[in-house]
Amino acid sequence: MKDPAQSAAPIQKDRALKGSLGVTAIVFMVVAAASPLTVIGGAAPLGILLGNGAGFPSLYAISAVILLLFSVGLAAMTKVVPKPGAFFTFVGYGLGRRSGLAAAYLALLTYTTIQVSVHGYVGYILQVTVSGLGGPDIPWYVYSIAVIALVGLLGYHHIDLSSKVLGVLLVGEIGIVLGLVAAVVFSGNAPEGLSLAPFTMENLASGNPGVGLMFAIAAFIGFEATAIFRDEAKDPDRTIPRATYAAVIGIGVFYTLASWGLVMAVGPEGILGVPLDQAGSLIIVTTAQYLGVVGEVIINVLLITSMFACVLSFHNVLTRYQHSMANAGVLPARLGDVHAKHLSPHASSLVQTATAAVLIAAFAVLGLDPVLQVFTWFAGVATLAIAVLMAATSVAVIAYFRRNRSADARMWNTVIAPVLGFVGLVVSSAVIIAYFPIMVGDVDATGTPTFGAVSVFLLALVVVFPLIGWVQGAVLQRRSPATYADLTEAISS
């Protein structure tokens, strides 16, 4: 009998990830993380009903402009800091090692909360779909944990497998949404006709625009992860910037068009009459109306696969963040191992799978609603965290290039665009915080938002996690100066 130790795949001594991903493959990875159909079918209806109503589509366009400005500085940094750590690396180079560690832990919070929020939503969708077809009424969290296991299996293997799966699913979900928009435009059945009402100032400022902005920015989370795949990219100095711009522009145009089509399908006035508890099924009902039973079945299936693509993509991002941090000496070294056969950060993948499963189990024990609490609350945390992270990265870009002017002398790329992006992100963060209690239901009898226990706890996470990183940096500086010094290295011009 073969010795089990011999049959196990050896661990690759080289801890660097390798691959030949092109622009298209990376865009598929990050756009899949943005999960177009999940956004239009899940987040957009909530953004409309909890946010600013018919004016919600305009917030996608505004968010795209802000994030495109941010991307200019991000792309400039990817060319001079040839490392895959993204926020962790860029903030460290620009604002110092402790700040870089603070950013790393905030990034872990961001991607963990957005991933687990979608795990809650996909569990709910599977539950209602299976029970609606006459199957057993299994609790949502059982489905969520099953999906976590499948994601973990794919994440354990080479990333090329994940990128191919994501590519197929992404094409399908984009196709069905564009088909729905086309049906709304050309059928002549839009109840209130076609108009640009969603883009008027009156509708933009109506309701709770801060809540709407939170859902709009959340829809883009993942595009910035292009830099995470640097080591696995072909010609990364060209591939990463191009993939970043393509992702932001493509996501922004698609979401603006698709959400406009959804509003037109129901009507700018009629959309406000949709009950909140029917938000999760709005896209399915609307598709059935315009594309018939076949369209309804297709979009129901693709909505599930869209959420699966989303959590798979974020799983890949998280495992690579942990891998980069482990190789920097700030997480257990085991997480930096690379599988000899699959060339994947397999140990990091296993840890991330276990983390997601434990969180879903905890939410189940607490009795949280998978959509109005797990999905909404934790997507809100992720959105605020990513806005803060991007604002810090914008400052880091400006600071780095002020010290290293010869690395890139273009004012637009290294100063003007990052400053404009920073202003937009800070304003967005302030608005999200102001409206955060409404999103989690912390309001008094008159409907006035109050920062109750839930709001305070969730917002505190955005403070506590970077503080952990900052403290770890201080401890490393005192106890392990060599490790601390290696967190960032000087980049020659």
* SS3 state at 491: coil
Relative orientation angle of helices 417-440 and 209-218, to the nearest 10 degrees: 120
Residue tagged 């200019």 (tokens): 72
Residues 6 or more apart in contact with residue 185 via CB below 8 angstroms: 194, 261, 264
Residue 492 DSSP code: P
Distance (Å, whole) CA 47 – CA 350? 34
Cα 453 to the chain's mean position, in Å? Answer: 26
Structure tokens at 437: 């209690």
Residue tagged 């942990």 (tokens): 322
Query: What is the model's pLDDT at position 408?
Result: 86
Query: What is the model's pLDDT at position 44?
Result: 92
DSSP strands (E only) in 291-358: 338-339
Distance (Å, whole) CA 433 – CA 102? 20
Q: Which residues of the chain have pLDDT under 50?
A: 1-14, 17, 490-493
Distance (Å, whole) CA 180 – CA 428? 31
- Taking the whole predicted model, whether its pTM rises above 0.95 is answered as no
Query: What is the model's pLDDT at position 390?
Result: 93
Query: What is the model's pLDDT at position 276?
Result: 81
H helix intervals, 96-158: 97-132, 140-156
Structure tokens at 482: 């060599």
Q: Which H or E run contains 12?
A: strand 11-12
Q: Is the dihedral of CA 352, 279, 199, 246 positive or negative?
A: positive
Q: What angle do CA 362, 463, 328 make, to 5 degrees?
A: 85
Distance (Å, whole) CA 187 – CA 340? 55
Q: Which H or E run contains 11?
A: strand 11-12
Question: What's the CATH code, domain 16-484?
Answer: 1.20.1740.10
Relative orientation angle of helices 417-440 and 376-403, to the nearest 10 degrees: 160
Residue 363: count other Cβ atoms within 10 Å of its Cβ.
24
